[in-house]
Structure 1
């Protein structure tokens, strides 16, 4: 069985598109809101709404994603998003 260069390029392009679309859907799936009842969240005392004055996920150095978004990824909870108004015991003030 011989494979032409054209067929190879078509299959390669299709594979790249498939991987890209798969990555997008996996990213959307991975951004599930963190449940405060999650064992790791409980261990770190995570809450969706901070009661600590001036301490919340939005001003923590571990938060990721764009400023101003309500739900953002956190380096402590892979595959989950946390509320920007939330707090956990791993909170560390952003420099600056």
Structure 2
């Protein structure tokens, strides 16, 4: 099969742009959920479970944290991992929110 210079250049540009976009997508740092995030405020998310307002969030019990929640998408030993409650942004393993559900 004979390839023209024009076909080669067009293909090369397509491959190069795809690689650049892929690299940019993977190079972006994952976003950690700040306590000031509107969803975080609605769910009572705290980076440190020991700082949960126990009067406001009566579901909270000592020993509950994101690291042992069924929604936490990392190992309990990971400092931060994605959570579907926050559009897969990163939450702290030692954090807590009102959507807490004990991991089976």
Unpaired runs of 5+ in structure 1?
A: none
Equivalences for residues 34-53 of structure 1 within 5 A: 34-51=33-50, 52-53=61-62
TM-score, normalising length: structure 1: 0.77
CA radius of gyration, larger in: 2
Q: CA RMSD in A?
A: 2.1
Partner of residue 91, structure 1: 100
Structure 1 residue ranges (4+ consecutive) displaced by more than 6 angstroms after TM superposition: none
Is 2:86 the counterpart of 1:77? yes
Is 2:8 the counterpart of 1:6? yes
- Secondary structure, counterpart of 1:81 in structure 2: strand
Equivalences for residues 14-33 of structure 1 within 5 A: 14-26=16-28, 28=29, 31-33=30-32
TM-score, normalising length: structure 2: 0.72
Unpaired runs of 5+ in structure 2?
A: 51-60
